[in-house]
Structure 1
Amino acid sequence: MTEQTKKLAHLFDATQCVGCSACIVACAQTNYPEMLNDENTGWGALPSNIRRVTIETARRPRQLLVQCQQCDDAPCIKVCPFGANFHDPETGQVKTDPKRCVGCGYCVTACPYDVRWLHPTKGLPVKCMGEGCEKLVQAGESPACVAACPVSARAFGDVNDPESPISQRLARSRAERLLPQKGTRPNFFVVVQK
């Protein structure tokens, strides 16, 4: 078995986010343009791979934007009876093979982050990265959410490369991973302090 040289991950900087929703709109426009007049009924928002979560704190509610955590130990991979969910050997990202998927929704239910959803017309589960963003990344560009953020509260890149912008940001900030007690080893980092 060869050692993986690249591991693509997302960073969300909660200290910089202004709650403008530009990332959510960009995700919807890039990945689900046919659904821009619809709503992801489970989330009460635009059909997007980014979910807005409100965390009640003692001082004031805080907003967190979450998406697929690209887990190293992904429950959605383990639970799929057809092997449709897998780790991309080149990037480490969790992907779904639509040719093997039957739309049972087990992966949607198994996700402890509640960031997978069923496409209402295709009947298949979707998640970050959508097809549009996959094409952007393959062309050497940033995913739509990263490119659209007006305050640079998002980053994406190879966390195995210490010189990458995401690694540099992680090195100078305090970041957390969500729900570490679930043992999924997520590759989505939330900056909580500069």
Structure 2
Amino acid sequence: MCLKCHGTGRAQCMWCNGRGRRMQMELCQHCYGNGTESCQMCQNSNQQCDGCAGKGRVLTYMRLTVTWKNNVFEFITDQNSEFSSDLFRNVKGEKLVMDEQSKVSGITDFPDPTIIEVSQNALEQHWTRFSSCRVLRQRQSVERLPLTRVQYCWKEKQLSYFVYGTESKVFVQNYPKKCCCVVM
């Protein structure tokens, strides 16, 4: 359908602005007092629709984007100042507690009271921070991550390195020699 005349083939006269008269009394010579004239855009014929190419059907798609976001709270007890706790993110440990539900409750029965307190505080912070969001699932776990400090002497210097995670990864802060030696 023509957008100017809406399929009628007639559009408002551009000389008299649809009034049918010019200069108040004089009849419009262009539209003969009718106020409309033949539509110049479609010339009183159907136009091919750009949207459907004249087929009468328009194919449309709707896109729905769902974003799932995980919010993580981590706490590591017994942090050693020489060993960066960030290294624990890349290793696995032994799972001691695992709870996954739509809403978990804080840990109440655990030998270390620090873990109980941190669990309660973390859940309270989570509900305060995300109270306006739809929380689908919560998971709470406690892992034991092995960490061993190995002390050794090299060229009369006391040095150390760390073995951590169940994968037994090694971290050396100041390795004494830069070539020809590998710590296994």
Report TM bin, short chain. Answer: under 0.3
What is the TM-score with the length of structure 1 in the denominator? 0.18
What is the TM-score with the length of structure 2 in the denominator? 0.19
Indicate the structure (1 or 2) with the bigger Cα radius of gyration: 2
Q: Which has the higher contact order (CA 8 A, sep 6+)?
A: 1
* Structure (1/2) with the larger helix percentage: 1
